[in-house]
């Protein structure tokens, strides 16, 4: 474990990332926070140089390469309503999008509900978990990798491969945390509308024909947007259907 002050890397928040733990290796930064919930403060941020069991949704794997990828989690001890807590994943996606625009000068797309895409490749995934009313926001960003595991080599890319810009991982972390604190404050004070509008500006799925796996149900339709609750709006043969969670595949 290293003691690092993220202010030296551009952090300018009130509480997120002020308490920072950098681990050399861990199973998953989300799991680390869940296992140490009582001893960690609101806004505590845990990053790992290497995650040996990084996780995605539904127990899927998150692959990372030692030192070149950013994997971190933020603990939010918040009294937000349950409805708002479910929207934190979008505040996080919005923060990553704004970080990429600021540091790399390109505009990525948000793929509902929890991915960031550039040039049809996934560069970031987000996993929000709820434990004893606390929210753990886990974010994996492909920063400086130049190759990927066989399983994901066709779907993943890194910010370095796409832009040719190599960045200090801790700078990328600090700027993401700055935006994360501001998008979470926006969600708390102004509600979902400003976040939704920012996401819809570059909505990866807009107008696309998709197949959505939601629990045991499979639905096919055209994406019309996202509603005020963060639900995906589908047009299925002229009828509108709203979906609150699921995996979306584009139909070519
Ligand atoms: C996600 O799940 O995309 C959420 C990933 C969250 C990772 C962070 S890292 C810090 C924190 N600690 C954790 O243990 N997790 C969080 P999902 O939508 O289920 O997507 C998972 C799928 O993304 C996998 O099945 C792969 O197809 C793909 N994938 C895995 N690793 C990837 C990578 N590095 N880049 C792009 N795609 C990847």
Q: What is the DSSP letter of 231?
A: P
- C-alpha–C-alpha distance, residues 140 and 182, integer Å: 19
Q: Choose which residue among 68, 72, 74, 125 to substitute to test ligand 1 binding: the one with the highest number of ligand atoms within 8 A of its C-beta.
A: 125
Q: What percent of the chain has pLDDT over 90?
A: 93
pLDDT at 236: 96
pLDDT tens digits, residue range 50-63? 999 999 999 899 99
What is the pTM (predicted TM-score) of this model?
0.97
Residues 6+ apart with CB under 8 A from 208: 222, 223, 250, 251
Instruction: Tell me the H-state helices in the chain.
Output: 29-35, 82-85, 88-104, 159-163, 169-190, 193-201
Q: Reply yes or no on whether the pLDDT at 65 is more than 70.
A: yes
Decide: 138 in ligand 1 pocket, CB within 6 A.
yes
Nearest atom in ligand 1 to the alpha carbon of residue 60 is 25
Average pLDDT, rounded, for the chain: 96
pLDDT tens digits, residue range 82-114? 999 999 999 999 999 999 999 999 999 999 999
pLDDT tens digits, residue range 186-219? 999 999 999 999 999 999 999 999 999 988 889 9
pLDDT tens digits, residue range 12-49? 999 999 999 999 999 999 999 999 999 999 999 999 99
Instruction: Tell me the H-state helices in 46-192.
Output: 82-85, 88-104, 159-163, 169-190
Strands 20-26 and 45-51: parallel
pLDDT at 217: 87
pLDDT at 214: 84
Decide: 246 in ligand 1 pocket, CB within 6 A.
no
Q: How far is CA 79 from CA 76, 84, 95, 166, in A?
A: 9, 10, 21, 38
Q: Reply yes or no on whether the pLDDT at 1 is more than 70.
A: no
Q: Choose which residue among 140, 142, 146 to substitute to test ligand 1 binding: the one with the highest number of ligand atoms within 8 A of its C-beta.
A: 140
pLDDT at 86: 95
pLDDT at 105: 98
Classify residue 65 by burial, with Cβ atoms within 10 Å: 0-12, 13-18, 19+. Answer: middle
Q: Reply yes or no on whether the pLDDT at 2 is more than 70.
A: no
- C-alpha–C-alpha distance, residues 64 and 49, integer Å: 9
pLDDT at 204: 96
Strand-by-strand arrangement of the 239-243 sheet = 239-243, 232-236, 217-226, 209-214, 247-250
Residue 201 belongs to what H/E stretch?
A: helix 193-201
- Residue 61 CA, ligand 1 centroid: distance in Å: 6
């Amino acid at each position: 474990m290293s003691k690092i002050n993220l202010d030296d890397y551009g952090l300018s928040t009130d509480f997120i990332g002020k308490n920072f733990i950098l681990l050399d290796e861990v199973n998953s930064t989300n799991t680390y926070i869940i296992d140490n919930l009582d001893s960690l403060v609101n806004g505590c941020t845990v990053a790992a140089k290497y995650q040996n069991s990084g996780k995605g949704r539904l127990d899927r794997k998150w692959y990372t390469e030692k030192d070149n990828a950013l994997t971190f989690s933020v603990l939010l001890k918040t009294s937000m309503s349950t409805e708002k807590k479910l929207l934190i994943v979008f505040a996080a996606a919005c923060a990553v999008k704004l970080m990429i625009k600021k540091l790399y000068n390109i505009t990525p797309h948000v793929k509902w509900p929890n991915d960031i895409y550039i040039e049809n490749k996934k560069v970031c995934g987000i996993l929000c978990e709820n434990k004893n009313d606390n929210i753990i926001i886990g974010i994996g960003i492909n920063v400086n990798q130049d190759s990927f595991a066989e399983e994901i080599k066709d779907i993943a890319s890194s910010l370095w491969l796409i832009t040719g810009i190599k960045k200090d991982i801790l700078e990328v972390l600090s700027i993401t945390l700055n935006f994360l604190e501001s998008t979470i404050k926006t969600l708390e004070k102004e509600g979902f509308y400003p976040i939704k509008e920012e996401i819809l500006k570059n909505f990866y799925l807009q107008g696309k024909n998709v197949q959505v796996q939601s629990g045991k149900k499979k639905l096919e339709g055209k994406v019309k947007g996202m509603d005020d609750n963060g639900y995906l709006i589908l047009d299925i043969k002229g009828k509108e259907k709203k979906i609150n969670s699921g995996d979306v595949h584009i139909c070519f």
